[in-house]
Chain A
Amino acid sequence: MAQIPVHELAEAMYKMVKDTMGLKKWKATDLQKASIEMFGEGNVDKQLCKDAIKELVNSGRLVYTYFGGSYIEVPHKEGAEN
């Protein structure tokens, strides 16, 4: 089975993170597992997930954050910065 295009996976990942903003903190592995569950193992693999996250972070649509461990979030201004 052919893999889905990386930008399509990136859009799906972005939606997952954006829709659960404030409710759930996503780690890279969480996004990978959720993506495989959503699209099926034959359509998405580990490398494709890495590439999709890289695309989202390099474009600035998502950012890495650190709160005890590292997470991936929609950029926002944090309270401490005020």
Chain B
Amino acid sequence: MAVDKKYDTPMLDELEKGEWPSFVKEIKAAAEWNAMSNDLLGLLEQSYSEKMGHWKHGGIVGVMGYGGGIIGRYTDLPEKYPNISHFHTLRINMPSGWFYTSEALRTLCDIWDAHGSGLTNMHGSTGDIIFLGTRTEELEPVFNKLTAAGFDLGGSGSDVRTPSCCCGKARCEWACYDTMALTHFITNKFQDELHRPAFPYKMKFKMSGCPNDCVASVARSDISIIGTWRDEIQVDMQKVREYAKNGTDIVKEIVMMCPGKCIEWDGKDLNIDNSSCLHCMHCINVMPKALAPGKDRGAVVLVGSKAPIVEGALLSSVMIPFMKIEEPFDEMEFWKLIENMWDLWCEEGKNRERIGEFIQRVGMGNFLDSVGLEPIAEMVAHPRENPYVFYEEYFEEGEEVEK
């Protein structure tokens, strides 16, 4: 249905100029037939003019039985912009690795055109498909159509958030385990935790296939599962020499930039001291045709990162330096650690305290003790530079450690 233009938007119009895609252009396209998008233009122009947002979020909205997936959103100017007095967001669980058929995308768009603003984020920063803006009474009909089409809501609030991963073995030669299969498994295993918020705060899983960490799991997830290897980097020496011959300055670009200082190049042979390798992927990224991750592959598990909401940003700490990730996934001992961590965090965690903040508050030593993990050197960020870390095997029996 065509909608008459109601608002002048001189400030938004500026954001349509230039060669780049413009969100204003997209909202205006939707506003030609959708009254919600039309009012959104007016509200946004007013916000730009006043330098003030006019939204409030949260509340009671949802679909029957679910505690996540829908974020209530209202404007504080409902009389002026009645079509967006409700403007709820839906998070829809994306497939692992964000693979869709074009038909699936058309189905999603048809559902949203019929029940919402017609505007989407593909994808939101959580990784989910985001439907932007609908009314409370449209939530159940949208949900019914989504589930009929094989989709489900994702996570929001104090629950397991929609697990996400890199494209892994589907499209990447570096994947050290099948991130997409594990993500699919985790999504199914923790359906209850995904849809029924039972934690002190949000809990995110992100799976990366190699230490390049394309989904930034080390910085953006409470539980990061990052592919790695525990044997030696595979080297094709002939290809290394070809890189050198074709202009790659191996000393400058690789040897000097190796954080483990474990590579030597004599102009003919490349020697890697794998026992000192930090698995940063730098050398492999510079010479992808000559080097590759080892053959004994698995993943490292880290816990505790978060973006700077509520309190400051945190990076993850290593909990398991290496584990094999092979089917059947359900038999991995890793789930017992997850259960122990959740039990402890639910019992002792404060409201809105992420697990990384919890670890900081109680101390890593106490946390490890409570979840049944032995402390190991890999858990320390810079063990060789940290004067508070002692290795008992360095000392003979009876010898006193200097204090």
Contact = CB atoms under 8 A, between A and B. Distances in A.
B159 A70 contact: yes
Interface in B149-176: 156-159
Question: Dominant SS at the A interface?
Answer: mixed
A76 B60 CA distance: 8
Contact of A66 (B65, B157, B200): B157
A50 interface: yes
Contacts, number: 79
A29 B185 CA distance: 25
Given A27-B158, A29-B200, A29-B346, A64 B66 contact: yes
A23 interface: no
A74 to B, nearest CB: 10
B198 A28 contact: yes
Contacts of A57: 65, 67, 196
Interface string A47-82: 000100110011010011111111011011010110
Interface residues of B, number: 31
B200 A69 contact: yes
Contacts of B136: 81
A70 B68 contact: yes
B58 interface: yes
B86 interface: yes
Given A81-B74, A81-B86, A70 B197 contact: yes
- On chain A, which size bracket covers the interface? 20 to 34
A63 B59 CA distance: 11
B275 to A, nearest CB: 44
A53 B62 CA distance: 16
Contacts of B159: 70
Contacts of A78: 59-60, 72
A75 B108 CA distance: 30
Given A54-B196, A70-B67, A64 B59 contact: no
A58 B64 contact: yes
A73 to B, nearest CB: 7
Contacts of B123: none
Contacts of B67: 57, 64, 70, 72
Given A64-B197, A66-B157, A75 B60 contact: yes
B233 interface: no
Interface in B49-84: 56, 58-60, 62, 64-68, 71-72, 74
B65 A65 contact: no
B201 interface: yes
A66 B64 contact: no
Interface in A1-34: 27-29, 32
A77 to B, nearest CB: 8
B351 A27 contact: yes
Contact of A80 (B59, B71, B196, B200): B59
A64 B68 CA distance: 8
B59 A67 contact: yes
B192 interface: yes
Contacts of A50: 192, 196, 198
A80 B88 CA distance: 12
Contact of A68 (B66, B71, B352): B352
11 contacts: A27-B197, A28-B197, A29-B200, A53-B196, A57-B65, A65-B60, A67-B59, A69-B158, A70-B158, A70-B159, A78-B59
Interface of A: 27-29, 32, 46, 50, 53-54, 57-58, 60, 63-70, 72-73, 75-76, 78, 80-81
Given A65-B59, A80-B72, A80-B74, 10 more contacts: A50-B192, A58-B64, A58-B65, A64-B66, A64-B157, A65-B60, A69-B157, A70-B67, A70-B157, A78-B59
